[in-house]
Structure 1
Amino acid sequence: MRQLLRQYPAQRDDIADLVTRRPLPGPGLPQVDPFLFLNHHGPQTYRPGNSGLPFGPHPHRGFETVSFILEGEMAHLDSGGHESVIRAGGIQWMTAGSGLIHAEISPASFKRAGGPLEILQLWVNLPGRLKMTKPAYTGLQREDIPAIPVEGGVVNLISGAFGETQGPFESLTGVAMMTVALEAGGHVDLPAPAGRSVFFYVVAGSPSANGTPVKPHHLATFAMDGDTIAVTAQAPATILYGHADPIGEPVVSHGPFVMNTREEIVRAIDDYNAGLFGKPPVIR
């Protein structure tokens, strides 16, 4: 079993009327290589006639974004021509790579009727050799995500392997991602392969990891001294969990760009201003 080292609380940082918590980066924890950033939006309920999500067209380069729609809906449009509306339980995986402009907004139906909303967005770094890879996007609905029964709960497998099951998303760097939902008394042994970084964020509840309770809205870090994390829930709990090989390269970030050097950041800004990321998607 891996030793739990520390728990880091998510910092509250609302965006307009969108409730937002951010455990990463945070005080004392700049990254969990290759995991760079997590925003936890909600849970909250939007009134009818709302303005929806505030994320209009904006650029990215050098990493991937993975969005988990736990409640509500999210529409995606980007300069590569991809467009979708993903409902509760679905996942969006975008490889920004060499550069993409995208928008993450609420569809007209949600703005009109309102309703519950809870979304997680995780940024996953790319190594230098892949930062200028061709941009890509895949959006899958709940029914496309394998739901693997475990003792008193379920593992929703997004990428990588869990037991004999393979997730539907193929990460460029072999990242394994899943969400775990446990009822009271539920238990699951999560794989933590040797040498890989673990990402363990408690979305709701206070499950125990290898016997230590982890607080809600906290990110737990672990030593590299084992290959399993045993999770038990005394009350219902939801966890965002993943593991990946560390990249071990310099990280230089500036807003929506994540590169290895300051010079590469300057080039990203210049390329964006020159229109090399494509035309911004048109919000209808």
Structure 2
Amino acid sequence: MDNILFSRRRAKRFAQLLDEANGGRRHHVRSRVDGQLAPLVAVGQRLSVDPPAPEVDPEFRTGLRAMLLATAERDGMGTTPATAEPSVARPAATTARGSLLPAATARRARARGAILIGIAAGAVAVSGISAASENAVPGDALYGMKRSTERAQLALASSDISRGQLFLDFARTRLGEAAELRGDAIGYSAVLDDMDADTRQGIRLLTAAALQRAEPSSLDTVNAFVASQHKAVSRLLDGANRADRERTRRSLALLDTIRERSDALRDAIACGLPAPAGSDSLGPAPTTCPGDR
């Protein structure tokens, strides 16, 4: 029992230290295991800023993808039935008995359903289905499953900072999809629209956290993302047609605006002016420091 309790406390303390390292609220407490956990926290912080690309066995991905597509075709997933199934009349005794079910039973049934949905969402986030759909692009049979996995990850995130980092990861994913759709004017533009939307969502959460806590650590994540993403988006210009180039430059302009916002927020925090002047799609708009007026 003591070992179990110690392991739980150790895990809880590790979660606190990792959240603080990523810009979360300071807990202002110390533990005797902090020194042991410090190397793990450093690794976790590096992974959050620059996550490694997943490596999945190609044979496993191919086999699982084929199985899922066959299951979808067999069960008619993603298709709408031509006609609705006729309703079957229930016997009068069954109807009467069903109407007498107490409300508590119905509530328990809904609760069990909610629990099952939560378990299913968590399983999707960590299952091989994610590996099978990770290379899917809009129009593929597994693309909807890929986006559902992302929504499940957001639902399981523990804080706004974690959700913000996830949105930036999704923006990187959309960038990879855009590279596969160059030349398809409609598909390419739509994916970049999604990429920019994910970027704004993530930046809004991270900048709000930085200003709320008066700590610029979340802005370090923002700046690292902007630097790497700007280089990757710029590569889309190579060999692109006119329409794709114009659309790509809009995404580059958004990244430039984000970097300016991040620098302005950092200056506001440094001069002790955390109160925002307003808010927009990128989160809080900082006030101007007295020396800059």
TM-score by length of 1: 0.20
Structure having the larger proportion of residues in helix: 2
Q: Give the strand-richer structure, 1 or 2.
A: 1
Which structure's relative contact order is higher, taking Cα pairs within 8 Å and 6+ residues apart? 1
Larger Rg: 2
